[in-house]
Chain A
């Protein structure tokens, strides 16, 4: 499982509340990513990080923010959750120092916004 832990595994929250999802890795990889997966859309990149405090936006970043204060943790925050953010969220890492290495994914967080 590439040493990736996502928490929580499931969450139900109400519209308008803030929500934070956590991705934790144990192998000090430099690159970390947040994707969401929705029927009919596949996996879409939200934000990514290329080091501590180094982050950038992906394709669908509106309504989301991220933070990476330690190498091992990458947090995704929904500032004010909306029903359109109901989705499965996957964190991924890329092995450092390996040329052309693939992304490896965590087991996902299923978020329902009511």
Chain B
């Protein structure tokens, strides 16, 4: 059974700080690791990390994947109040049944609060 553990579960920082969110995982036949941001409604996609793409960056957000140690981190630099959200980490293993796309296994999320 696939498993994802995120830490910390909650984090409060001040605007301008840099934060690092952690995600460790166990998955059979690793396919990908994904990060999502969830504000009030639907989770929105941030990054996908695979064997062929272990580092991703978009503006102030960046993520790396360590396939040997089975973890990923999400970094946010120069945080803003708009970064306040729940950040979700998910993994997917290669599936040989069900059409080849069984879905993602999610962690419980990190609730990030940015104070002005």
A105 touches which of B42, B98, B105, B108 (Cβ 8 Å): B42
Binding site for A on B (CB under 8 A): 31-32, 34, 41-45, 48, 50, 88, 90, 97-109
Q: How many A-B residue pairs have CB under 8 A?
A: 64
B42, B88, B104: most-surrounded residue (chain A CB, <10 A): B42
In the docked arrangement, what's the CA distance between A25 and B103, Å?
A: 17
Q: Are A102 and B108 in contact (CB under 8 A)?
A: no
For the complex formed, measure the closest distance between the CB of B19 and the CB atoms of chain A, giving whole angstroms: 19
Q: A31-B101, A43-B88, A43-B104 are in contact. List 16 more A-B contacts (CB 8 A).
A: A41-B108, A42-B88, A43-B90, A44-B106, A48-B102, A50-B99, A54-B99, A56-B102, A94-B101, A100-B48, A100-B50, A102-B34, A102-B48, A103-B103, A106-B42, A107-B41
Give per-residue flags for A21-58: 1 if the beta carbon is below 8 A from chain B beta carbons, else 0. Answer: 00000000011010100001111110010110010101
